[in-house]
Structure 1
Amino acid sequence: MVTVATWNINSVRLRLDQVERFLAEQQPDVLCLQEIKVAEHLFPHAAFERMGYVHRAVHGQKGYHGVATVSKLPLTELSRHDWQDNGEARHVGVEVGGAGKGLLIENVYIPAGGDEPDREVNPKFGQKLDFLERMAHWADTVDRPSLIVGDFNVAPLEHDVWSHKALLKVVSHTPVEVEALERFRIAHGWVDLGREYVPADQKSFSWWSYRNKDWKASNRGRRLDHMWASPELAPQARGHRALTECRDWERPSDHIPLVTRFEL
């Protein structure tokens, strides 16, 4: 059994105590972090060594973005795709286990896309759509069972947001973003593991804005974080959880971790 977790931590150094608590309590074999906001040489390597995550692939930059995959199991870094096409650190791909026969894990942080869902007035939104298009072209070439995880910054389904009607014109849930993500899904036939375990007609969220003082009472969330598996890998999943309790921790990330167990 191999357990993989993903979490947009919103600064790994600021929330290192929370990462340590999560790893101690949940003991995943592999943790994929997004928005680490630190360059590789300043990443808290010693802390992860101490916790037993002695294998790491870190693609970071100063102050912004960045992804890291840490593992108890041996891993080999395979790729750092620049789907943003501007040098930002938003992806790292690894193979966990034996070369050529291990588990491929793609860790991605898709751009948020700014506030206005119009590429003519908001270049960031256009960059997000182009990012998704480049991912779709890549997915069309994937020829091994893989797992792609991370902060997709898109809530694609009606019940992935607190109000489908209210958010149709809000970045992360607009039809054009949903269609772009769907093209990526179709390109490889990805299976959305979160919705394999929570039916699509039930609300399911992974992010709640800091602007909501009582996030739990208002529950105005969105499902921005995802774990998608190749069609061949998806049937090997044995359980998937969204750890909502982490949003209640002191100075939390606005995202929660997702955890999936695989019988490989």
Structure 2
Amino acid sequence: MSFTLATWNINSVRLREGLVRRLMQEEAPDILCLQECKSPVDKIPLEGFRALGYGHMVARGQKGYNGVAILSKLPLEDVGDMDFASLGHARHVAARLENGVVIHNFYVPAGGDKPDRAVNEKFGQKLDYLTEMRDWFHGTRPEKAILVGDLNIAPREDDVWNHKQLLRIVSHTPIEVEHLAEMQDAGRFVDITRKDIPEGNLYSWWSYRSPEWDKADKGRRLDHIWATPDIAAAGHDSRILRDVRGWEQPSDHAPVFARFDL
């Protein structure tokens, strides 16, 4: 089985239904994982997606916040979700393909503005979420698994526009990077994007606060595609569709792609 997979924080699937459909028409990924759908599952606009061949969906949602969905041309089996840190949020869903590969779609908490759990509850929730992810993957030791999503952490120095300036900014602080690395190690996940593109600055998010986002290029790589070692070699052709960030009324994230030949 060969398939192209994409992950994209859409920042409201109903508001940006047209952008999702445009991506489906122009790029035609076999599987599209969305985060921050901001919609109950029954309100996700499936009719237009089905018309483009995406007849399968596994999703978790809630009104106005969070939400994750896996849209697919290929048959999917819903294999559940986890409520890490007991937040009661729709931040994870998993689906199994017919070849046995399990896709985990995550939307890790952003963590607020201050990287100090003593004064910022959201930052503590983010660290707790990652810790419980680590413990879960350590216990399950997944095989034939792909993990994707907005993990809200840019781990490498070249995953941000300025490493030194962002060391005290949420998404790139040492404690977040450490927590992410521990979780990645627990599941033995391989970063497919960086396996394919090992060198150079690489971003998937540019703030709405910068109207000159493309020129200023103050980006961060917050969106990831990982795979377990048994299938990591099958992942290739990674790319980030930077131009999508410039579409009309865009998400602040760009889609990340990879292809798997399994």
Normalised by the length of structure 2, the TM-score is 0.97
Question: Is the CA contact 2:142–2:228 (under 8 Å) kept in the aligned structure 1?
Answer: no
| 1:224 counterpart = 2:222 | yes
The answer for the alignment partner of 1:235 in structure 2 is 233
Alignment partners' CA distance in 1, 2:78 and 2:45: 18
- Displacement of 1:143 after TM fit? 3.3
RMSD of aligned residue pairs (Cα, Å):
0.9
How many equivalent residue pairs? Answer: 260
Deviation larger for 150-159 or 188-197: 188-197
Instruction: Name the amino acid aligned to 1:195.
Output: R
* Secondary structure at the counterpart of residue 79 of structure 1: coil
| Equivalence for 1:164 | 163
- Give every structure 1 segment of 4 or more consecutive aligned residues whose post-TM-superposition deviation is greater than 6 Å: none
Report the counterpart of residue 26 of structure 1 in structure 2.
27
Aligned with 1:232: secondary structure?
helix
What is the CA-CA distance between 1:253 and the residue it aligns to? 0.4
* Aligned equivalent of 2:64: 63
Tell which deviates more after alignment, 81-90 or 3-12.
81-90
* Match of residue 198 from structure 1: 197
- Is 1:245 matched with 2:246? no
Report the Cα distance in structure 2 between the residues aligned to 1:224 and 1:195, rounded to whole angstroms.
13
From 132, 142, 145, give the equivalent of 2:130.
132
User: Post-superposition shift, 1:130?
Assistant: 0.3
User: Alignment partner of 1:84: what SS?
Assistant: helix
1:102 offset after TM fit, Å?
Answer: 2.1
1:84 has 2:85 as partner: yes
Deviations 1:190-209 (A, max 9, x none): 11111112224x10000000
Question: Which segments of 5 or more consecutive residues in structure 1 lack a partner in the other structure?
Answer: none
Structure 1 length-normalised TM: 0.97
* Residue matched to 1:262: 260
Indicate the residue corresponding to 2:17 in structure 1: 16
Residue identity in the other structure for 1:166: Q
Unaligned runs of 5+ in 2: none
Structure 2 Cα separation of the partners of residues 144 and 185 of structure 1: 13
Which whole-Å deviations, capped at 9, do the CAs of 1:238-264 have from their partners, x for residues lacking one? 311100110110011000001111111
